[in-house]
């Protein structure tokens, strides 16, 4: 895998602390929904550092989209979410990962379970399904602290036939919400996921603690661990 120069072509804020970057990468070989890339920043004095970011959308020629959550005091994410401007250049390499991927030819029902920024590769799968005209039924359960922390909120509000979306809140829920704020549990997955007997492919992504809890819940509900694919968004870097 070679490093390629990527130019910021545009960006949009998803939440007060998360931004989607559109990058033009000449020579980009394409990627599958669920894969990630490494992004490398190099300072004028030659110091460089790298982090991993999931593709937020399916391949679109030489354009890739990443959604980055700002980590306070972080080295890379504040630059990508606050400083980078159209025309700035970084380096990327990838695509990386072959297990946590969804392909349009897959026919099993899909359950997507995301915590916070863990929705990023799951959104790429939803977008890939739509782009391919796939009729495979998807269910998305996404857990965020408050309604303002939900990425892609406008897009998720638009009905997408065959894609059921459930948003869980851990700190404050919208007025009138029947579920009190709280972390994901058995009842949430049992109510809004697929029954294990349908043998769905489950993709779970987010912070390590979230992923371990959600994966344990799925297995406790009878899902075959081989069909529970996980991606942990822990700290990454060189």
Ligand X SMILES: Cc1cc2nc3c(=O)[nH]c(=O)nc-3n(C[C@H](O)[C@H](O)[C@H](O)COP(=O)(O)OP(=O)(O)OC[C@H]3O[C@@H](n4cnc5c(N)ncnc54)[C@H](O)[C@@H]3O)c2cc1C
Closest to ligand X by CB, 166 vs 236, is 236
Closest to ligand X by CB, 16 vs 234, is 234
Residue 233 within binding range of ligand X, rule CB under 6 A: yes
Residues 196-215 binding ligand X (CB under 6 A) are 207
Contact predicate 228/218, CB 8 Å: yes
Residues 159-198 binding ligand X (CB under 6 A) are none
x-or-dash pattern for ligand X, window 119-138, by CB under 6 A?
A: -x------------------
Contact pick of 15, 35, 52, 230 for ligand X (by CB under 6 A): 52
Residue 174 carries which DSSP code? P
Q: Of 2-10, 70-78, 84-92, 130-138, which part binds ligand X (CB under 6 A)?
A: 70-78
Residue 236 within binding range of ligand X, rule CB under 6 A: yes
Residues 71-90 binding ligand X (CB under 6 A) are 71, 73-77
The minimum distance between CB 151 and ligand X, in angstroms, equals: 9
Residue 51 within binding range of ligand X, rule CB under 6 A: yes
Closest to ligand X by CB, 57 vs 217, is 57
Closest to ligand X by CB, 71 vs 219, is 71
Contact pick of 117, 134, 201, 230 for ligand X (by CB under 6 A): 117
Residue closest to ligand X when measured from CB atoms: 74
The residues near 105 (Cβ < 8 Å, ≥ 6 apart) are: none
Residue 237 within binding range of ligand X, rule CB under 6 A: yes
Contact predicate 218/193, CB 8 Å: yes
DSSP string for residues in the chain: ---EEEEEEEEEEEETTEEEEEEE-TT-----BT-EEEEEEE-TTS-EEEEEEEBSS--BTTEEEEEEEPPTT-SSHHIIIII--TT-EEEEEEEE-SSS-B-TT--S-EEEEEEGGGHHHHHHHHHHHHHHT----EEEEEEESSGGG-TTHHHHHS--TTEEEEEEESS-PPTT-SSPS----HHHHHHHS--GGG--EEEEEESHHHHHHHHHHHHHTT--GGGEEEEE------
Closest to ligand X by CB, 22 vs 231, is 231
The minimum distance between CB 185 and ligand X, in angstroms, equals: 22
Binding stretches for ligand X (CB under 6 A): 36, 51-54, 67-69, 71, 73-77, 117, 120, 207, 231, 233-237
């Amino acid at each position: 895998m070679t490093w390629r120069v990527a130019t910021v072509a545009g960006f949009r804020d998803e939440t007060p602390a998360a931004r989607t970057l559109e990058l033009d990468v000449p020579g980009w070989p394409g990627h599958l929904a669920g894969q990630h890339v490494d992004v490398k920043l190099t300072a004028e004095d030659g110091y460089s550092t790298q982090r991993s970011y999931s593709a937020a959308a399916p391949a679109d020629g030489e354009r890739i989209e990443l959604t980055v959550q700002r980590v306070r005091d972080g080295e890379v994410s504040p630059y990508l979410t606050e400083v980078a401007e159209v025309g700035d250049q970084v380096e990327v390499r990838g695509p990386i990962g072959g297990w946590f991927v969804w392909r349009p030819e897959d026919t099993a029902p899909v359950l997507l379970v995301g915590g916070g920024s863990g929705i990023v590769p799951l959104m790429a799968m939803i977008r890939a399904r739509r782009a391919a005209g796939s009729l495979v039924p998807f269910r998305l359960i996404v857990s965020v602290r408050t309604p303002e922390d939900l990425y892609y909120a406008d897009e998720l509000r638009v009905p997408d036939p065959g894609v059921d979306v459930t948003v869980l809140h851990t700190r404050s829920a919208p007025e009138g919400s029947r579920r009190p704020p709280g972390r994901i549990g058995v009842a949430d997955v049992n109510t809004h996921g697929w029954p294990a007997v349908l043998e769905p492919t489950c993709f779970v992504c987010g912070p390590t603690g979230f992923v371990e809890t959600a994966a344990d819940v799925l297995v406790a509900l009878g899902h075959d661990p081989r069909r529970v694919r996980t991606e942990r968004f822990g700290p990454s870097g060189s």
